[in-house]
Structure 1
Amino acid sequence: MAIRYSIIIPTFNRAQQLLLTLVSFETQTYPKHLFEVIVADDGSTDGTKAMVEGFQASYPLIYVSHQEQRGRSAVRNLGLRHAKGLYVIFCDADFLVLPEFIKIVSRYHRKYPKAVLSGIPYSWDDAYTHYYPDFSPEEKEHFRNRLTQSNLWNPDFEAANEIIPLVTPEDILYQTVALSKLVIPTKVPPNVKKQLAKTDVAPWMLLVTRCVSIRRSQLTRIGGFNERFVLYGLEDWELGYRLHQLKIPFYSIKEVVGYHQEHPNYFRGNIINTENLKIMFETYGFNDSSLNLFTLLPPSEDFEAYKNTLRVLRKGIRSKLTRSSALLLKKTLKISAKQFFQQNNTHAHKKSLRWIKKKTKNRKSRVATVLREMLLRSEKLVK
Structure 2
Amino acid sequence: MAIRYSVIIPTYNRAQQLLLTLASFETQTYPKQLFEVIVADDGSTDGTKEMVEGFKASYPLIYVSHQEQRGRSAVRNLGLRRAKGLYIIFCDADFVVLPEFIRIVSRYHRKYPKSVLSGIPHSWDDAFTHYYPDFSPEEKEQCRNILTQSNLWNADYEAANEITPIITPEDILHQTGALSKVVSPTRVPPNTQKQFATTDVAPWMLLVTRCVAIRRSHLIRIGGFNERFVLYGLEDWDLGYRLHRLKIPFYCIKEVVGYHQEHPTYLRGNVLNTENLRIMYETYGFNDSSLNLFALIPPSEDFETYKNTLRVLRRGFRSRLTRSSALLLRRTLRIAAKQFYDQSHTHAYKKSLHLIKKKAENRKSRVAHVLREMLVKSEKLVE
Same fold (TM over 0.5): yes
Q: Which amino acid aligns with 2:51?
A: M
**Structure 2, unaligned stretches of length 5 or more?**
none
1:115 and 2:115 are equivalent in the alignment: yes
In 2, Cα distance between equivalents of 1:158 and 1:249: 47
Tell me the distance in 2 between the aligned counterparts of 1:56 and 1:143: 31
TM-score by length of 1: 0.99
CA deviations over 1:230-271 (Å, ceiling 9, x no partner): 010000000000000000000000000000000011111111
| 2:162 is aligned with 1:165 | no
Determine the C-alpha separation between the residues in 1 that align with 2:54 and 2:150. 34
CA distance in 2, matches of 1:157, 1:100: 32
Distance 1:83 1:55 in 2: 20
Structure 1 residues 309-324: aligned runs within 5 Å: 309-324=309-324
**Cα drift, residue 4 of structure 1:** 0.2
1:86-132 C-alpha deviation (Å, 9 max, x unpaired): 00000000000000000000000000000000000000000000001
Map of 1:207 onto structure 2:
207
Which position in structure 2 is the counterpart of 1:178? Answer: 178
The percentage of counterpart residues that share the same residue type is 83
325-334 vs 146-155, greater mean Cα deviation: 146-155
**Alignment partners' CA distance in 1, 2:91 and 2:294:** 26
1:249-260 → structure 2 map (5 Å cutoff): 249-260=249-260
Shift of the alpha carbon at 1:140? 1.1
Q: CA–CA distance in 2 between the matches of 1:220 and 1:331?
A: 35
- Within 1, Cα distance between the matches of 2:186 and 2:136? 19
Tell me which residue corresponds to 1:38.
38
Residue 150 of structure 1 and its aligned partner are, at CA, apart by 1.9
Secondary structure of 1:260's partner? strand
Distance 1:40 1:301 in 2: 30
Displacement, 1:142? Answer: 1.4
Amino acid of the structure 2 residue aligned with 1:289? S
The residue number in structure 2 matching 1:142 is 142
Deviation at 1:157, TM superposition (A): 1.4
Instruction: Give the drift of 1:159.
Output: 1.1
- Paired with 1:141 and 1:175, the residues of 2 have a C-alpha distance of 27
Secondary structure in 2 aligned to 1:37?
strand
State the match for 1:133 in structure 2. 133
Cα distance in structure 2, aligned partners of 1:180 and 1:343 = 49
Following superposition, the deviation at residue 277 of structure 1 comes to 0.2
Letter in 2 for 1:51: M
Runs of 4+ in 1 over 3 A off after TM superposition: none
**Matched residue type, 2:157:** F
Matching residue's letter, 2:70: R
Shift of 1:155: 1.6
What is the match of residue 230 of structure 1? 230
RMSD: 0.6
295-304 or 117-126, which deviates more: 295-304
Aligned: 1:291 with 2:297:
no
Q: Secondary structure at the match of 1:44?
A: coil
Q: Find the residue that maps to 2:133 and give its secondary structure.
A: coil
How many residue pairs match? The answer is 383
Corresponding residue for 1:24? Answer: 24
Q: Which amino acid aligns with 1:219?
A: L
Find the aligned partners of 2:269 and 2:232 in 1 and give their Cα distance.
Answer: 6
Kindly provide the amino acid, as one letter, of the partner of residue 340 in structure 1: F
Q: How does 1:1-383 map to 2 (within 5 A)?
A: 1-383=1-383
1:179 aligned counterpart, secondary structure: helix
CA offsets per residue over residues 2-56 of structure 1, 9 Å max, x none?
0000000000000000000000000000000000000000000000000000111
Q: What letter corresponds to residue 235 of structure 2 in structure 1?
A: E
CA distance in 1, matches of 2:156, 2:23: 28
How many angstroms apart in 1 are the aligned matches of 2:340 and 2:211?
31
Q: CA deviation at 1:147?
A: 1.5
SS of equivalent to 2:113: coil
Deviation by residue 1:328-375 (Cα, 9 ceiling, x = unmatched): 000000000001001011111110011000001010000000000000
